[in-house]
Amino acid sequence: MKAKHQRLILVLLALVAVIGAALLAMSALKDQAAYFYTPGDVIKDSLPVGRAVRLGGMVKKGSIVREPDGVTIRFVVTDFKDEVPVVFKGIVPDLFKEDSGVIAEGKFTADGTFVADNILAKHDERYMPPQVAGAMHKSKSAEE
């Protein structure tokens, strides 16, 4: 094989690898990027039933209910305007409490309930998830 051909093959291989990786990344991104929703978005848009999404807002005061099995809890996520009921089976993070910011990962069911398989609460007292802060800000300025 001539050196020129060999170089060409190497370059082609590299191109195939790069394009392949880019295609792989794009298709995966399209399917898998979890979109972030606030309760307001959910009411406005059609429900993204069955897709992996994140829901962010505040845990509504007095809304946390524990089921008799001891591990399932129900609560309501609010942006002080619209509300979404959430059900979660598992141990909630230490900083999960009423009237405080939360991000839930999971899927919507057809009846509008959000089934969370993961709850992220803020890491420490000084911090609020920026998405939640943004959503709060939006719904507050909408009220005015």
- Residues within the interface to other proteins (CB under 8 A): 1, 3, 6, 9-10, 13-14, 17-18, 20-22, 24-25, 28-29, 31-36, 52, 54, 66, 69-71, 89-92, 94-95, 105, 123-127, 129-131, 134
The DSSP secondary-structure symbol of 49 reads B
79: left (phi over 0), alpha (psi -120 to 50) or beta: alpha
Answer yes or no: are the C-beta atoms of 77 and 94 closer than 8 Å. no
Q: How far is the CB of 34 from other proteins (least distance, A)?
A: 5
Q: How far is the CB of 111 from other proteins (least distance, A)?
A: 24
The smaller minimum CB distance to other proteins, of residues 24 and 142, is found at 24
Burial 101-113 (b: 16+ CB within 10 A, else e): bbbbbbbbeeeee
The smaller minimum CB distance to other proteins, of residues 32 and 111, is found at 32
